Amino acid sequence: MARPFYDKLDWTVLICTILLTMISLLTIYSASSSGTGKQDLVLRQAGWFALGFFLIAVVTSVDYRIISALAYPIYGAVVLALGMVLLFGEKISGAQRWIKFGPFSFQPSELAKIVLILALAKYFADKKKDTVYLSDLIISGILLAIPVGLILKEPDLGMSVLLLPVFAAIVFVAGIDRKYIIALLILGIFSMPVMWMNLKDYQKDRLMAFVQPDSDPLGSGYHVIQSKIAIGSGGFSGKGYMNGTQSQLNFLPEQFTDFIFSVFSEEWGFVGSFVLFSIYLTLILKGLAIASKARDKLGRLIAAGVVTVLVVHMFVNIGVTSGIMPVTGLTLPFVSYGGSSIFSISIALGLLLNVSYRRFEF
């Protein structure tokens, strides 16, 4: 007897997603409560979450093998969109990352991580052997290099860096030989000076501020210093909801997006941060379990890519706000404000649920 659809859904993933949604709306409402006309951000975020859950439902309902069959055309469409951003995109704060549609702006680079997962998963799943050869690394490396190069031109260092661990995770799960891992690490080390020379001045300033944030406390080090003050002042149990002074007095920059964890941590302290970490950890462990139980290689590779996106986004964002990583601009998954980020993570979670759902089909 066939199992009903609701019994095949992974409710752990859905519950974690709903909890993150609630945390996001509550935190954005708190951070915007002291501003004039800013509370409409909560309504916008709620609307994007509604569309996000619709995307999750749509992506879950279409067999991931059908989606994979369209991986290369979708990859080409996103690459084309990234090229259009460089030609016609809207420039905000010196970065040209958005395409504007009337009152709405969309960031195509957010979709790059999704199409890279799909393209790499399809390429390695179509191989008959479970071994990654040098030719495979070259071809998959080209699939990686094209979006990375376009995103770096915007410039968006954080998103381009995110694609590297996604590539590494999928190649590792696909069965890369140890000697190639060593070769790639050596290549990465020797390429660092070249990468440094091609960074923009503000990106170099961010890296230097990470090493010595107090050297420019009102400039490049301001974000991290204020964030650390907010997190540290939260203490064990926090200052209480809507009582965070760093956010309510607008000392925290980008408090709705990149530094939303600082707002949350100041209000809820160590206890609240532990709860948030636990939700993410549950989601990540469940994702790994889905990858290990996937019915085929394609599903395993897709799930591994999605889990990597979640891990890197969470680790980097919280690392930046805590001052243990340089500022990169990566959002906190399903918590930070922004439609593009919510849509891309929704698609990723939809793919994860899709792989989990299809493992019951025989």
Whole-structure pTM over 0.75, yes or no? yes
Angle at which helices 339-358 and 297-322 cross, to 10°: 140
Q: Is residue 338 part of a domain?
A: yes
Looking up tokens 């469409």, which residue turns up?
A: 77
Q: Is residue 48 part of a domain?
A: yes
Q: Residue 4, class by beta-carbon neighbours within 10 Å (0-12 exposed, 13-18 middle, 19+ buried)? A: exposed
Q: Is residue 2 part of a domain?
A: no
Q: Is residue 298 part of a domain?
A: yes
Tell which residue, 200, 209, 101, has the closest CA to residue 154.
200
Distance CA 183, CA 8 (A): 42
Q: Give me the tens of pLDDT residue by residue for the chain, a chain 362 residues long.
A: 445 555 577 889 999 999 999 999 999 988 876 655 556 888 899 999 999 999 999 999 999 999 999 999 999 999 999 988 888 777 766 667 777 766 677 788 889 999 999 999 999 999 877 788 888 888 999 999 999 988 888 777 778 888 989 999 999 898 887 776 777 777 767 666 666 566 666 556 655 555 555 555 555 567 778 888 888 888 888 898 888 877 777 777 778 888 899 999 999 999 999 999 999 999 999 999 999 999 899 999 999 999 999 999 999 999 888 877 777 778 899 999 888 899 999 999 999 999 998 876 54
Q: Is residue 1 part of a domain?
A: no
Parent domain of 82? 10-358
Q: Is residue 3 part of a domain?
A: no
Whether the Cβ atoms of residue 171 and residue 133 lie closer than 8 Å to each other: no
Residues 6+ apart with CB under 8 A from 267: 27, 30, 234, 238, 239, 240, 241, 242, 243, 244, 247
How many structural domains is the chain composed of? 1
Q: Is residue 79 part of a domain?
A: yes
